[in-house]
Homo-oligomer: A and B are copies of this chain.
Amino acid sequence: MGNIFSDRISDVPRSFIRDILKLTLDESIISFAGGMPNRDLFPVKEISAAASRLFAECGKDILQYSVSEGYPGLREWIAGRYKTQKDINVHPDNILITSGSQQGLDLLGKTFLNEGDHVVIEEPGYLGAIQAFSVYKTRFHPVPVDMSGIDTARLEQALREHPVKLFYAVPDFQNPSGISYSEENRRRVSALIEKKRDTLLIEDDPYGELRFRGAAKSSFHRFIPENTVLLGSFSKIVAPSFRIGWLVAGDEIMEKLVIAKQASDLHTNYFGQRVILRYLEDNDIDRHIEKIRASYGNQRDAMIEAIEEHFPGEARFTRPEGGMFLWITLPEGLPAMDVFKQAVARKVAFVPGDPFYVNRQGVNTFRLNYSCVDEETIGTGIKRLGVVLKEMMGKKGG
């Protein structure tokens, strides 16, 4: 065959993490590279019981094709949860069940992005969003985030200089950095977006329920519902293998998204939707989430304690209030990729920052995951990493 591939697919970055993870398969390596929830916390017995009851009571009903929007009962459950958890009024008709949040991103790209359209993305930003939007040959405008949220001056500038269609944000416990937007930051961002008739804020919220510190913040949906599309997922609070997420959008947008959904995969796997709903109905999800929070909170504390003990003082790090990740910034001029190579040789791994940037390489930042590693192992791994950092930063200084 000749080269008959589309231009778009040639532009999408290959998953760097995928390649990196191959280097960390060695079981003697302590890996902080993962992006997965802790498998030991999956409610196996409860999900198994939910599936058995469903088969007994509904039989063939759960095996047929279903509707593109998603199972009505599940959409109602999600709407109810928004009301109790975030005091947001969302109608079930404005919820589309997606094949994971990742598909939500793809559907939004499909529905909104022409070639060359402008998208603001956080810097560092979520790799999956960069991939999903790259497919639609978008122009990215990265705006930095720090511990209080996104840089609003830079955001304002991007909105002034370009006709930005989408602004993609993960305001709670961001992947990769673990930072959250302050309430004040959210208000300021909302004020900027609200003025724009043709800009949508994509609020991706896979980790919001996993808060182990500080007070909950407002969803952008509370401030600027017309300009907001909300994304959510069961992957981090129940289990990821079902690939069940959702998005919340206004009527007009929903209509287009449903067309995109039909063309993409007809509907999200219905069997999984029914099992998840049955699990949610038969169990106390708040108690389950509390267990995850407590566990991740302790793991995060163990990691910060170990970093404070073992890392050189020049390495800065974020202090997440929830979620699964924290973010290290090394002194200028020390590429995380170089550190990674040494670290793997010392049997400890992480994800170098590079894939979380658009058009930047050799960055001095990296991501650490604490959700998949127990506290003791965190101590051991961070100590190993500290040795590598001290060596390399010593060399650097000397």
Contact = CB atoms under 8 A, between A and B. Distances in A.
A371 interface: no
B52 A241 contact: no
A157 interface: no
Contacts of A63: 39, 42, 44, 47, 239-241
A6 B287 CA distance: 42
Given A135-B260, A256-B5, A256-B9, A128 B65 contact: no
A395 interface: no
Contacts of A1: 197-198, 200, 226-227, 250, 252-253
A242 B263 contact: no
Interface stretch (A269-277, A304-312, A362-370): A269-277
A5, A40, A256 interface centre (most CB from chain B within 10 Å): A5
A265 B99 contact: yes
A381 to B, nearest CB: 20
Given A36-B65, A112-B5, A102 B266 contact: yes
Interface in A1-32: 1-2, 4-9, 12, 14-15, 18
B266 A111 contact: no
Contacts of A52: 48, 51-52
Contacts of A259: 9, 12, 14-15, 131
Nearest to A99: B265
A300 interface: no
Nearest to A276: B271
A110 B135 CA distance: 8
Interface in A242-274: 242-244, 250, 252-253, 256, 259-260, 262-272
Contacts of A39: 60-61, 63-64
A253 B271 CA distance: 31
Contacts of A4: 112, 165, 198, 200
Nearest to A244: B269
A197 B112 CA distance: 34
Nearest to A243: B269
Nearest to A226: B1
20 contacts: A4-B112, A6-B112, A9-B111, A9-B256, A48-B51, A51-B55, A64-B241, A65-B241, A99-B243, A103-B265, A115-B115, A128-B266, A241-B269, A241-B270, A241-B271, A243-B266, A243-B268, A243-B269, A244-B269, A269-B272
Interface of A: 1-2, 4-9, 12, 14-15, 18, 36-37, 39-40, 42, 44, 47-48, 51-52, 55-56, 59-66, 68, 98-100, 102-103, 106, 110-115, 117, 128, 131-132, 134-136, 165, 197-198, 200, 226-227, 235, 239-244, 250, 252-253, 256, 259-260, 262-272, 275
